[in-house]
């Protein structure tokens, strides 16, 4: 499996470098372009139908909350899985290593949509056949659709981020780990205080890209009846039979979410400056 | 379960009806066609976009920046819907304005168009990075020998950037193959949709989704073999892993 | 001024980078067979002068003629000049063989491919003819065995010799060298200087920017000392090195020894 | 020669109206109906499966030319598209898990989760009558998914066209898990006046041709002939 | 052999990397207050010896005692030794302050965080106490102003001084230096040697591997000359440098001057 070169992830996702600076807006041609753009916006909002908007506003707000909840829960859970996945690929015994590698290859080699449906329709339809599951405390959750969405997105994030963490763990200079051991740190302390934070530090720029990619994956859960912002907009489309307006609004919403996410990550990255790279 | 039938009914995958194997395979071929078409279109857009971003005027640069930013910040699923409905509609409106008859855009063409536009933005970024990685002295030397700008691009810049671009472009290919699955949501008969149809009709969900997974995985693994061959060829001129 | 015996004539050349005027009116003539060495302190504008000759750097004012043909220039509206005929520039460039400090060999081509690239794709020579000439040149600079290797696998000295062969392959009217040895480890300098020395013996027209004073004195028939964007002094090597007139040149020479 | 007409319908199994077979061909009552109408109206029809939730945008943006996909004629839809005369009309049913007896009424479904397909009259109906009276309405992209979730125990009930439900209850899976709870109280304003062929607004000539064709196959017996293959009652309705 | 006055005692140490025997029985004692300089040619095993002392490299045979406590070892089944009590090794390591050739500062922490890391997280000192000590140490090596900078933004000499402060922060029984200046530019070497010289004046026990012979002669009270994995000669600096006995040492010393 070719591991994704970090620069590719950057190419795929919007990263902090892509944010325009404030002063860059005030170049003559930019002002012209913005004027044209503003006219376009005015025209669009004038000629298109937006009367449905007030009615759906509360639902949209809720949908955004669901989307963000999906994003954060699956990124965090996925990252927690990614750390061991990356680590065992660097130092683990071979069965674990092989398992992690196979896992990452399979997940990265198949479409997320398919994984999602496999979990929801495939696995989900097996559960009720076992009375033990049906009567267990888990059943109320297994009846819902969001656990499947969370599971699929988490697994996917873990596999992609696991590759990144593998590179990050392997890339921590051996000397720094040796220095830690020379100071009498136990293996766990070395990992907790030096190896892990240093690896995360190295992986942070890539992590930004991966998180944006994860945000871009969340709307897939709408296909299994999770009511995220995409599902709400789908509902608007079906209720109003409008083709463009809801989708344009949706694109705008994701654009804003991405922008905010990237800004937040830039803050985080700036906390530990790196030189050069 | 009251049903004593075998847990997995492999005959459902047989190549001739009543097995669904041939349907899955034709879905796979559709997927591959779209992936190849979309990837190629994306590459064309990417070459244009990268050169435009690097050497174009300020307005072109800004427009391209908008293009890549929007595509990279908005989910593929949303883009696919927008492009699928709006893109082809706009083309026909333009044709109407130009007094031409409305073109009949086939599903395949629409799919290629949609994937191509998305891939184009990614390729633009990958290629731009790769071109920037070519040492400027190489291009200057070409100019010093009297090469015209077109010659410089075709003889020096494009081939010299390949080793830097290939890892990124390989990833884009793998992404293109998987993004075709998203066309399922607009009803295009690629592998994922026919899988769902087969699963829905036969109720053998697990079996068919796993089968499709194996097909996608095989596509990825086969691609990887070719990618590593290409990569090795392209890196010939580079002394050490850059 | 447009005398075809003059391989290169530079007239009153000015070059300005934003607020910094790097060349402040330089005139220079290289007749056929001349070997001109340009010397001077760091930042004095030597590279800039050389790069203006083949228009890699566009001058702010002044003119350049190659083999009696003046490069047509027009005002570019931003206070500088731009060539009015791109084709002419490309044609004239292909008569100048430039060797860069950092070699700038094309990394995606083998040494031989580097050498035949311009003859085939700029001058339109038949490929087998170009290969024959190219191999002869590579043999001459001692790199025949390496013709199918990629540049990255060669030492700096070998790369610079390949770059010289590449420049010779277009059978240039004039060879331009910009500090061809300063990116090399000391032990590799000699092999490159030897090749350049051979070219000088053949009476090939050359303009070279160099920090190797001993070498300049040996091979050049004319030395140009550039200081702060002007030609401070020029003349035959013995005069320049043996009896420098200007204070600056005296200081420069003593600082080197 | 006849102009080509793209006939859109949901790219999902919706037996017995439209479902794909193992060789990738579509079959079912509605496929037969479509063939008969097109033959009668001398139209060169091409079957074009599309995503159900985008089927009206697909029609308005000319990706397809008509919809023959069990689409009920409702006032809401008539704002955006036009319809031919109805070509079938059947009551609306509700099914539930075996043994889970309840009435298909607002009271009977209170507190339960009911599944419907999006962009259908059932979605509107269920939201109005059940959703506002204590039931949770879950909306699915396809009817098949809703049925599947009922079988998987993730739903308590599914509301849909009684014939589509009947086909499901007759399938291996449906037989085991589920049974019909009854028909819902009719509301013609929502449930519509039957199923018609969806047409873009303003294409009156096409509409006239289709109406004439529907009338003709009803009268010449073609309609009854292929209907008999699927149903033992008159699907055209009153 | 287990005399607490002996800060470090190495007995008959062997170390083998596959077929290559790097240390062939080395014994060495450092009493409290000793400054021992290990010198020798490249590849003679100096670094390996130093790294065996704190078990960064596991010896093949022999024993190491720190402050009279012998590190318990057991056979590892592959012909080597392994510590039988990991906790003991960790505890003893935390009494040795090691300074590496390439600094190995933790890049994700500021200088001060680097310095207080081991006191707080290995020795369990209270954080504010560690900060007070750490700041005092940084002031001492002249880096108080840089305490909140990240290592990547410091010069090599500053980084090495920070590494020394980090090693001192655990109040080590012995300081171990492995060529602390050889990764530095010549002009930065002085500032690091000055700091080490100060430590020597305080009679701090130190073992240092160095190529700076003049410095070794000045600060060390005992010189160990290692050749081919054995101690070829040892003694006070004046004897070793002034009157070398063995041929090898004579050759080594003359090669350096
Ligand atoms: N592209 C440029 N933009 C701005 N300033 C430049 C540029 N190229 C050169 N300069 C400046 O012009 C001056 C002359 O540069 P030039 O390279 O010609 O000097 P040089 O004589 O070749 O020096 P050296 O011996 O160091 O190569 C320098 O101050 C340099 O910084
Ligand atoms: N981890 C290792 N694996 C194999 N061989 C090693 C290893 N570490 C060191 N060696 C070999 O052991 C020998 C001694 O190495 P050591 O680093 O101790 O030498 P040194 O005296 O410190 O030399 P220098 O002055 O160059 O640092 C060398 O031949 C080296 O190649
Ligand atoms: Mg220069
Ligand atoms: Mg060493």
pLDDT digits over A33-91, tens only? 888 888 888 887 788 888 888 999 999 999 999 999 999 999 999 999 999 999 999 99
Residue B35 lies in a domain: yes
Domain count for chain A: 1
Residue A12 lies in a domain: no
- Any residues with Cβ below 6 Å from ligand 2, and which? E 17, 22, 40, 42-48
- Report yes or no: C160 and C185 within 8 Å, Cβ to Cβ: no
Atom of ligand 1 nearest to the CA of C229: 14
Q: Which of B193, B179, B174 is nearest to B117 (CA)?
A: B179
Put simply, whether E104 touches A (Cβ < 8 Å) is yes
Work out the angle at residue B98's Cα, subtended by the Cα atoms of residues B96 and B102, and round it to the nearest 5 degrees.
35
DSSP 8-state class, residue D171:
S
Domain count for chain B: 1
Residue B186 lies in a domain: yes
Segment B70-88 mean pLDDT:
85
Please state, in angstroms and rounded to a whole number, the distance separating the CA atoms of residues B152 and B140. 9
At B103-157, the pLDDT tens digits run 767 778 888 988 999 999 999 989 998 998 888 899 999 999 999 989 999 999 9
Number of C-beta neighbours around residue D220 at 10 A: 12
Please state, in angstroms and rounded to a whole number, the distance separating the CA atoms of residues A120 and B206. 10
Residue A202 lies in a domain: yes
Residue B179 lies in a domain: yes
At E165-182, the pLDDT tens digits run 999 999 999 999 999 988
At D38-71, the pLDDT tens digits run 999 999 999 988 888 888 888 988 888 999 999 9
Put simply, whether A137 touches D (Cβ < 8 Å) is no
Atom of ligand 2 nearest to the CA of E51: 18
User: Coil, strand, or helix at residue E207?
Assistant: strand
Residue D148 has pLDDT above 90, yes or no: no
Residue B8 lies in a domain: no
Please state, in angstroms and rounded to a whole number, the distance separating the CA atoms of residues E200 and E207. 10
* The pLDDT of residue A3: 38
Q: Residue A215's closest chain B neighbor by CA?
A: B75
Inter-chain residue contact B216 with A114, CB threshold 8 Å: yes
Cβ-based burial of A188 (10 A; exposed 0-12, middle 13-18, buried ≥19): exposed
Helices assigned H by DSSP within D95-141: 106-109, 121-129
* The pLDDT of residue B18: 78
Inter-chain residue contact B155 with C121, CB threshold 8 Å: yes
* The pLDDT of residue A8: 45
Range(s) of the domain holding residue B226 = 16-234
Residue E27 CA, distance from chain mean position: 16
Residue appearing with tokens 């439209």: D18
B-D C-beta contacts closer than 8 Å: 77
Residue B241 has pLDDT above 60, yes or no: no
Atom of ligand 2 nearest to the CA of E211: 25
Residue B239 lies in a domain: no
Residue A36 lies in a domain: no
Cβ-based burial of D148 (10 A; exposed 0-12, middle 13-18, buried ≥19): buried
* The pLDDT of residue A21: 66
* The pLDDT of residue C257: 59
Of the ligands numbered here, which is closest to the C-alpha atom of C38? 1
Chain C from 152 to 191: CB within 8 A of any B CB = 152-153, 170
Residue appearing with tokens 């931003």: C78
Q: Which residues of C138-166 are buried (b: 16+ CB within 10 A; e: fewer)?
A: bebbebeebbebbbeebebbbbbbbbbbb
Q: Which CATH number characterizes residue A188's domain?
A: 1.10.3720.10
Contacts of B160 in chain C (CB under 8 A): 106-108
Please state, in angstroms and rounded to a whole number, the distance separating the CA atoms of residues D79 and E7. 94
Q: How confident is the model at residue A141 (pLDDT cuts 50, 70, 90)?
A: confident
DSSP 8-state class, residue A35:
H
At C113-131, the pLDDT tens digits run 999 999 999 999 999 999 9
Percentage of the residues of chain B whose pLDDT score is greater than 90? 37
Where does chain D show beta strands of DSSP type E? 4-10, 19-20, 26-27, 44-50, 66-67, 82-88, 92-97, 113-117, 136-140, 157-161, 178-183, 195-199
DSSP 8-state class, residue A4:
P
Q: What contacts C68, CB < 8 A, 6 or more positions away?
A: C2, C3, C4, C5, C6
Please state, in angstroms and rounded to a whole number, the distance separating the CA atoms of residues B134 and B161. 6
* The pLDDT of residue C12: 94
Percentage of the residues of chain A whose pLDDT score is greater than 70? 89
User: Coil, strand, or helix at residue C22?
Assistant: strand
Segment B226-240 mean pLDDT:
80
* The pLDDT of residue A20: 67
Residue E134 has pLDDT above 90, yes or no: yes
Percentage of the residues of chain E whose pLDDT score is greater than 90? 72
Edge-to-edge strand list for the sheet holding C20-31 = C20-31, C6-17, C61-66, C69-70
Please state, in angstroms and rounded to a whole number, the distance separating the CA atoms of residues B65 and A19. 11
Q: What are the backbone angles phi and psi of residue A165, rounded to the nearest 5°?
A: -65, -35
The most confident of the ranges A36-50, A184-198, D67-81 is A184-198
At C141-151, the pLDDT tens digits run 999 999 999 99
Q: Which of C200, C192, C201, C191 is nearest to C164 (CA)?
A: C192
Residue A2 has pLDDT above 60, yes or no: no
* The pLDDT of residue D2: 55
Give the closest residue (by CA) to ligand 2 atom 24.
Answer: E42
Of the ligands numbered here, which is closest to the C-alpha atom of C23? 1
Contact exists between D and B (3 or more beta carbon pairs < 8 Å): yes
User: What are the tokens at E75?
Assistant: 């056979």
Give the closest residue (by CA) to ligand 2 atom 3.
Answer: E17
Please state, in angstroms and rounded to a whole number, the distance separating the CA atoms of residues D38 and D5. 9
Put simply, whether D153 touches A (Cβ < 8 Å) is yes
Helices assigned H by DSSP within B56-157: 58-73, 76-82, 88-97, 107-133, 136-144, 149-151
Residue A95 has pLDDT above 50, yes or no: yes
Segment A141-157 mean pLDDT:
91
The answer to whether the peptide bond before residue B238 is cis (omega within 30 degrees of 0) is no
By Cβ distance, the residue of B84, B102, B193 closest to D62 is: B102
Strands E174-178 and C69-70: unpaired
Length of chain C: 257
Put simply, whether A176 touches E (Cβ < 8 Å) is yes
Residue B201 lies in a domain: yes
Inter-chain residue contact D10 with B187, CB threshold 8 Å: yes
* The pLDDT of residue B4: 42
Put simply, whether A185 touches E (Cβ < 8 Å) is yes
* The pLDDT of residue D13: 86
E12: left (phi over 0), alpha (psi -120 to 50) or beta: left
Contacts of A243 in chain D (CB under 8 A): 57, 60-61
Put simply, whether B193 touches D (Cβ < 8 Å) is yes
Q: Which of C237, C233, C181, C187 is nearest to C210 (CA)?
A: C181
Put simply, whether A49 touches D (Cβ < 8 Å) is no
Range(s) of the domain holding residue A76 = 57-271
ipTM of the prediction:
0.81
Residue C151 Cβ inside 6 Å of ligand 1? The answer reads: no
Q: How confident is the model at residue D234 (pLDDT cuts 50, 70, 90)?
A: confident
Inter-chain residue contact E92 with A179, CB threshold 8 Å: no
The alpha carbon of residue D66 is apart from the nearest alpha carbon of chain B, in Å, by: 15
Of the ligands numbered here, which is closest to the C-alpha atom of C39? 1
Q: Which CATH number characterizes residue B102's domain?
A: 1.10.3720.10
Residue A62 lies in a domain: yes
Atom of ligand 2 nearest to the CA of E229: 14
Q: How confident is the model at residue A4 (pLDDT cuts 50, 70, 90)?
A: very low
Q: What are the CA-CA distances from residue B154 to residues B142, B151, B161 (Å)?
A: 11, 5, 11
Low-confidence ranges of chain C (pLDDT < 70): 1-4, 257
């Amino acid at each position: 499996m070719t591991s994704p070169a970090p620069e590719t992830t950057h190419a795929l996702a919007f990263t902090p470098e892509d944010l325009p600076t404030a002063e860059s807006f005030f170049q003559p041609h930019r002002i012209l372009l913005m004027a044209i753009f503003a006219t376009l916006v005015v025209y669009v909002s004038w000629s298109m139908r937006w009367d449905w908007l007030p009615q759906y506003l509360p639902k949209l707000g809720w949908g955004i909350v669901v989307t963000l909840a999906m994003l954060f829960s699956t990124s965090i859970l996925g990252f927690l899985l990614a750390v061991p996945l990356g680590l065992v690929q660097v130092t683990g015994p071979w069965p674990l290593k092989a398992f992690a590698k196979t896992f990452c290859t399979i997940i990265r080699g198949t479409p997320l949509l398919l994984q999602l449906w496999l979990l929801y329709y495939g696995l989900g339809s097996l559960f009720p056949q076992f009375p033990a599951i049906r009567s267990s405390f888990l059943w109320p959750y297994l009846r819902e659709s969001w656990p499947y969405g969370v599971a699929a997105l988490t697994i996917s994030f873990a596999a992609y981020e696991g590759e990144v963490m593998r590179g990050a763990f392997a890339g921590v200079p051996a000397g720094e780990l040796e220095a830690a051991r020379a100071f009498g740190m136990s293996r766990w302390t070395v990992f907790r205080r030096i190896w892990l934070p240093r690896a995360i530090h190295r992986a942070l720029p890539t992590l930004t890209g991966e998180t944006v990619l994860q945000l871009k994956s969340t709307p897939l859960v709408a296909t299994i009846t999770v009511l995220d912002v995409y599902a709400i907009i789908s509902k608007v489309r079906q209720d109003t039979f409008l083709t463009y307006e809801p989708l344009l609004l949706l694109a705008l919403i994701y654009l804003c979410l991405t922008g905010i996410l990237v800004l937040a990550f830039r803050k985080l990255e700036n906390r530990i400056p790196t030189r050069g790279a | 379960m009251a049903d004593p039938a075998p847990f997995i009914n492999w005959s459902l995958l047989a190549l001739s009806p009543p097995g669904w194997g041939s349907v899955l395979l034709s879905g796979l071929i559709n997927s591959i066609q779209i992936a190849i078409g979309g990837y190629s279109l994306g590459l064309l857009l990417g070459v244009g976009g990268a050169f435009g971003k690097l050497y174009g005027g300020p307005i072109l640069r800004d427009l391209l920046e908008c293009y890549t930013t929007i595509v990279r910040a908005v989910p593929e699923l949303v883009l696919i819907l927008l492009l699928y409905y709006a893109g082809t509609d706009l083309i026909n409106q333009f044709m109407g304005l130009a007094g031409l008859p409305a073109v009949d855009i086939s599903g395949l063409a629409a799919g290629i168009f949609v994937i191509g536009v998305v891939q184009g933005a990614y390729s633009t970024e990958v290629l731009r990075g790769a071109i920037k990685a070519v040492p400027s002295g190489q291009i200057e030397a070409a100019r010093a020998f009297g090469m015209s700008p077109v010659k410089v691009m075709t003889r020096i810049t494009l081939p010299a950037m390949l080793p830097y671009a290939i890892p990124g472009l390989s990833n884009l290919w793998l992404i293109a193959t998987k993004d075709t699955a998203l066309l399922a949501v607009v009803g295009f008969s690629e592998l994922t949709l026919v899988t769902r149809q087969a699963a829905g009709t036969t109720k053998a969900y697990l079996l068919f989704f796993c089968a499709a997974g194996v097909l996608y995985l095989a596509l990825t693994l086969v691609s990887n073999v070719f990618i590593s061959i290409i990569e090795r060829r392209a890196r010939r001129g580079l002394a050490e892993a850059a | 001024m447009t005398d075809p015996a003059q391989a290169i004539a530079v007239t009153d050349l000015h070059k300005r980078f934003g607020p910094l005027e790097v060349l402040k009116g330089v005139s220079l003539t290289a007749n056929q067979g001349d070997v001109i060495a340009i010397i001077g302190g760091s930042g004095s504008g030597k590279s800039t002068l050389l790069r203006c000759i083949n228009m890699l750097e566009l001058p702010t004012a002044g003119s350049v003629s190659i083999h009696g043909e003046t490069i047509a220039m027009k005002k570019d509206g931003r206070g500088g000049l731009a060539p009015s005929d791109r084709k002419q520039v490309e044609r004239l460039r292909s008569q100048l063989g430039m060797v860069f400090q950092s070699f700038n060999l094309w990394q995606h081509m083998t040494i031989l491919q580097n050498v035949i690239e311009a003859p085939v794709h700029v001058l339109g020579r038949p490929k087998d003819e170009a290969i024959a000439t190219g191999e002869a040149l590579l043999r001459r600079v001692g790199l025949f065995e390496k013709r199918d290797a990629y540049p990255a696998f060669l030492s700096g000295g070998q790369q610079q010799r390949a770059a010289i062969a590449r420049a010779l392959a277009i059978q240039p009217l004039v060879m331009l060298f910009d500090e061809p040895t300063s990116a090399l480890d000391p032990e590799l300098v000699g092999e490159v200087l030897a090749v350049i020395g051979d070219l000088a013996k053949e009476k090939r027209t050359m303009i070279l920017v160099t920090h190797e004073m001993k070498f300049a004195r040996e091979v050049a028939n004319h030395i140009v000392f550039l200081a702060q964007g002007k030609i401070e002094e020029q003349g035959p090597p013995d005069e320049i090195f043996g009896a420098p007139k200007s204070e600056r040149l005296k200081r420069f020479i003593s600082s080197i020894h | 020669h006849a102009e080509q007409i793209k006939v859109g319908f949901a790219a999902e199994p919706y037996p017995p109206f439209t479902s794909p077979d193992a060789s990738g061909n579509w079959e079912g009552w509605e496929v037969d109906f479509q063939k008969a109408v097109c033959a009668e109206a001398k139209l060169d029809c091409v079957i074009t499966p599309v995503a159900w939730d985008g089927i009206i945008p697909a029609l308005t943006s000319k990706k397809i030319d008509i919809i023959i996909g069990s689409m009920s004629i409702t006032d809401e839809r008539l704002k955006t598209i036009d319809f031919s005369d109805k070509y079938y009309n059947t009551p609306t049913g509700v099914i539930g898990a075996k043994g889970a007896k309840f009435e298909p009424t607002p009271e009977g479904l209170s507190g339960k989760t009911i599944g419907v397909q999006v962009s259908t009259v059932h979605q509107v109906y269920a939201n109005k009558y059940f959703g506002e009276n204590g039931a949770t309405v879950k909306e699915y992209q396809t009817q098949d998914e809703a049925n599947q979730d009922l079988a998987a125990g993730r739903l308590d009930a599914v509301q849909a066209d009684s014939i589509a439900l009947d086909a499901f209850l007759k399938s291996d899976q449906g037989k085991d898990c589920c049974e019909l709870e009854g028909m819902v109280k009719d509301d013609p304003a929502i449930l519509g006046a039957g199923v018609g062929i969806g047409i873009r607004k303003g294409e009156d000539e096409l509409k006239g041709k289709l109406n004439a064709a529907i009338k003709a196959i009803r009268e010449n017996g073609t309609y009854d002939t292929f209907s008999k293959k699927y149903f033992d009652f008159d699907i055209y309705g009153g």
